[in-house]
A and B are shown apart, each in its own frame.
Chain A
Amino acid sequence: MLRVSRMTIAAYLLPTFLVIALIDLYPIFYTFNLSFTNKSTFNTLDNSYHYIGVKNYQYVLQQTGGDFVQVLLITAFYVVVCVALFAFLGLITAMAVNHPRVRGKGFWGNALILPWTVPTFVTALIWKFLYNYNFGPLNQIIRLVTHNASAGILWLDQPTPAFIAVVIANIWMSYPFFMVISLGALQSIPADLLEAAQVDGASGWQRFRYIMLPLLRPALLPATILSAITTFQMFNTVYLITAGGPFTSGNINNPGATEFLMVYMFDRIQNNGNFFVNYGHIATVAVLVFIVLFALTMMSLRFTNLARETKR
């Protein structure tokens, strides 16, 4: 730590904090404020909107038939399924590449990391085409294998296949991150530790469970939480493939099968192109989403060394 005058400190901090206050804090404050008003398309021009207390919160949490809660739960389910699957896949891929007797590590590593390097919107649009019913290669393969020219899965028009479709696309783009993290952690495990265990008669599973896993934990845990937070906020992969659909309930205002939090937000803002938009309701949803993300982040504080870092 350096001893400097207060003026110096202020001079360094001011540009940063000023800009943050203007384009980060003010918008958040604005949104909180908005969530307590009845502002909508109708009363914006003549400024006749006013504070209505917590009515928006009551409305969002109860009167829309539990829309928000339903979306929150389905998002949480998506996050758990995706993170569990790509963390597992990333870890075993890393272990396979890192296996002492596997040759061509450079090739495997670079080939397997490629999905991570593709821009996410391209990934989503590619998978959307792969899932195409008539011309997509996935259904073409199914037809080839089953020798049935009319076979195929309606990937994006049925709730469960659509959900599986966005899970697969997310796994495809996200497992390399875990592979890279795991590879780094695996390579830092001293080889003699594993050898010693082997000499002592530990089985492969025991070596994994009692030596590798505890040593991998400090690297994998923050990565898992980080992935959970990003998956929670995932928009591109879902919206660009399914647009939140399919909407099977018959009521266009009910959330679709893959309408996760951010897609839900976006759809409320767009409101199916309707002219009337209730800004207060949308701001309320935003505040609730923020609270969820904030809680997740604070949880992650316990597992990373952030708390230590701020105290230094």
Chain B
Amino acid sequence: MNEQPVSAASIKAVTATGTATKTVAITGERAGVASLFRRFRKNSSLAGIYVFLGLMTIFALFPLYYVLQASFNATQALITTNLQLVPTHPTLANYQYVIQQEPFLRWLLNSIIACGVATLIALICATSGAYALARFRFRGRQVSLLFLFALQTFPGLLAIYAYYDILTLLHLDGTIIGLSLVYAAGNIVFGVWNIKGYFDTLPIELEEAARVDGASYFTTFMRIILPLAAPALAASALFMFIGGWNEFVLAKLILNPDNNSLTVPVGLFQLQQDQYTPWGYFAAASVLVSLPLMALFLYLQRFFRSGLTIGSVKG
């Protein structure tokens, strides 16, 4: 995981320490006390950096650790006013309860459907348009690009009444598919920008060469460009999916409030809103929702760096 940047950094670190010793050697001709003092200052600042990194790591990991241990904690053990960091009687009861007694799996399924359908619609619709914007020149192209960019900042929440109307018209009001349509609206605009950014980096000679070999532009697009753009498409898809996975407010406003038709964020929120729900249940559910996504994210880190940074957020 993350191997490339780290190894690059360590190579740089090696060269840098090499030069550092060189500087010490040069200045070492002066009084020994001064160089000793310098070395002490250097080491103490290094120690300071380690202390800072240690504190930051505690800040970063403490909330996560706390939830993890709470998820294994017996219900009553969390209702204490004293700090407790290790479960006294570790148990899986919380996980069992969440999976069996709450419609948790149903929420998961709903979330997967909503995000999956939205991602699929958006990806299909965005790719061809992104290709046209990257490769063809036509009147109104610049205006459309700027327009799309502006649309990117328009949160769906602002147009909620329009979506209510559209979904009622389509007889999709209150449904997961209806919600996914609203998610797709945001995803498409993001997708066009991001994928277009990647198409821009592919050499145009690809199409020209294929053309000379007698392939039509459409064949080239399907057989050469799309496979080459796979990393960017995957990164965009993942970002769209995660965006929907995190989405709370539209799901809350659009979905039927009945407990079985919620997505994970709304369901978990409802679970926590209830004062009598033991916190351990919520902690277990949080771990279940977060772990797959965290693992995926860490695994795909370097992938993001290549696939996504090439897109809209060019450095």
Cross-interface CB contact of B290 among A119, A130, A184, cutoff 8 Å = A119
A125 and B272 form a contact (CB under 8 A)? yes
Q: Size class of B's contact patch?
A: 35 or more
C-alpha spacing A265/B157, complex, angstroms: 8
Please tell me if the beta carbons of B294 and A19 are within 8 angstroms of each other in the complex: no
> Residue B222 at the A interface, CB < 8 A?
no
Query: How many inter-chain residue pairs (CB < 8 Å) link A and B?
Result: 304
CB distance from A118 to the nearest CB of B (A): 5
Could you give, for residues 254-293 of chain B, a 1 whenever the CB lies within 8 Å of some chain A CB and a 0 otherwise?
0000000000110011001000000100100010011001
- What separation, in Å, do the CA atoms of A266 and B148 have in the docked complex? 25
Across the interface, name the chain B residue whose C-beta is closest to A171.
B59
Q: A20-B189, A30-B165 are in contact. Are A149 and B57 (CB under 8 A)?
A: no
Write the nearest CB–CB distance from A191 to chain B, whole angstroms: 5
A297 within 8 A of B: yes
Nearest residue, chain A, Cβ from B15: A191
- Distance in angstroms between the alpha carbons of A282 and B46 in the assembled complex: 55
**A96 in contact with B12 given A122-B268, A140-B82 (CB within 8 Å):** no
Q: Interface 1/0s, chain A 290-312, versus B by CB < 8 A?
A: 10011011100100111001111
The yes or no answer to B132 lying at the interface (CB within 8 A) is: yes
Interface string of A91-102 (1 = CB under 8 A from B): 011001111111
Type the 1/0 row for B29-47, where 1 means its CB is closer than 8 Å to any CB of A.
0000000000000000010
Whether B81 and A135, one on each chain, are in contact in the complex, defined by CB atoms closer than 8 angstroms, is yes
Given contacts A15-B124, A140-B81, 11 further A-B contacts (CB under 8 A): A15-B128, A16-B128, A16-B129, A16-B192, A23-B166, A23-B184, A96-B49, A100-B16, A105-B10, A109-B2, A141-B83
Contact B154 A23 (CB under 8 A): no
For residue A82, give the distance in angstroms from its CB to the closest CB of chain B.
16
Stretch at the interface among B93-101, B232-240, B243-251: B243-251
Sample of 9 A–B contacts (CB below 8 Å): A100-B12, A111-B60, A112-B60, A125-B269, A135-B80, A137-B83, A191-B19, A239-B249, A240-B269
Are B315 and A219 in contact (CB-based, < 8 A)? yes
Interface string of B294-313 (1 = CB under 8 A from A): 10011001000100010011
Q: Which residue of B lies closest to A186 (CB)?
A: B9
The residues of A that contact B272 with a CB separation of less than 8 Å are 125, 128-129
Q: Is A262 a contact partner of B13 (Cβ separation < 8 A)?
A: no
User: Given contacts A19-B125, A311-B142, is CB(A222)–CB(B313) below 8 Å?
Assistant: yes
A226 to B279, CA, bound (A): 35
Nearest chain A residue, comparing its CB with the CB of B45: A204
Chain A residues at the B interface, C-beta cutoff of 8 Å: 1-2, 4, 6, 8-9, 12-13, 15-17, 19-20, 22-28, 30-31, 34, 89, 92-93, 96-102, 105-106, 108-123, 125-130, 134-135, 137, 139-141, 143-144, 149, 172, 176, 181, 183-185, 187, 191, 195, 198-199, 218-219, 222-223, 226, 229, 233, 235-236, 239-240, 262, 265-266, 269, 279, 282-283, 286-287, 289-290, 293-294, 296-298, 301, 304-306, 309-312
A23, A139, A198, A199, most chain B CB atoms within 10 A: A23
Write out the residue numbers on chain B whose beta carbons fall within 8 Å of the beta carbon of A125: 268-269, 272, 282, 286
Instruction: Give A170 Cβ to nearest chain B Cβ, in Å.
Output: 13
B153 lies within 8 A of A229 (CB) = yes
Do A110 and B1 touch across chains, with their CB atoms under 8 A apart?
A: yes
The reply to whether B9 and A16 contact each other, CB–CB distance below 8 Å, is no
Whether A9 pairs with B138 at a CB distance below 8 angstroms is yes
Cβ A137 vs Cβ B61 within 8 A: no
Residues of B within 8 A of A92 (CB): 52
With contacts A100-B17, A105-B10, A114-B60 taken as known, whether A279 is within 8 angstroms of B161 at the C-beta atoms is yes
In this assembly, does B212 line the interface, its C-beta being within 8 Å of a C-beta of chain A?
no
Nearest-CB residue, chain A, relative to B251: A121
A27-B185, A121-B269, A305-B314 are known contacts. Are A8 and B162 too (CB-CB below 8 A)? no
**CA A290 to CA B207, docked complex, whole Å:** 40
* Contact residues of B between 72 and 114, Cβ < 8 Å to A: 78-85
Q: Is B152 an interface residue (CB 8 A)?
A: yes
Determine if A16 and B154 form an interchain contact, defined as CB atoms under 8 angstroms apart: no
How far apart are B93's CB and chain A's nearest CB, in angstroms?
18
Residues of B131-190 at the interface with A, using a CB-CB cut-off of 8 Å, are 131-133, 135-138, 141-142, 144-146, 148-163, 165-166, 181-182, 184-185, 188-189
> Which residue of chain B has its CB nearest to the CB of A130?
B63
Query: Is there an interface contact between B16 and A20, defined as CB atoms closer than 8 Å?
Result: no
Q: Beyond A110-B2, A297-B152, A297-B153, is A122–B49 a contact (Cβ under 8 Å)?
A: no
Q: What's the minimum C-beta distance from B282 to chain A, rounded to whole angstroms?
A: 7
Contact residues in B for A309 (Cβ distance below 8 Å): 145, 197, 200, 314
**Contacting pair B189 A101 (CB below 8 A):** no
Q: Which of A8, A26, A89, A269 contacts B166 (CB 8 A)?
A: A26
* CB proximity of B261 to chain A, nearest CB, Å: 17
A8 to B: closest C-beta gap in Å: 7
The 5 A-B residue pairs with the shortest CB-CB distance, nearest first, are A16-B129, A100-B16, A27-B162, A27-B159, A30-B162
The complex places the Cα of A137 from the Cα of B86 at a distance, in Å, of 12
B253 close to chain A: CB less than 8 A: yes
Closest Cβ neighbor of A128 among chain B residues: B272
Instruction: Given the known inter-chain contacts A9-B132, A96-B49, A135-B81, please indicate yes or no for A262 contacting B315, CB distance below 8 A.
Output: no
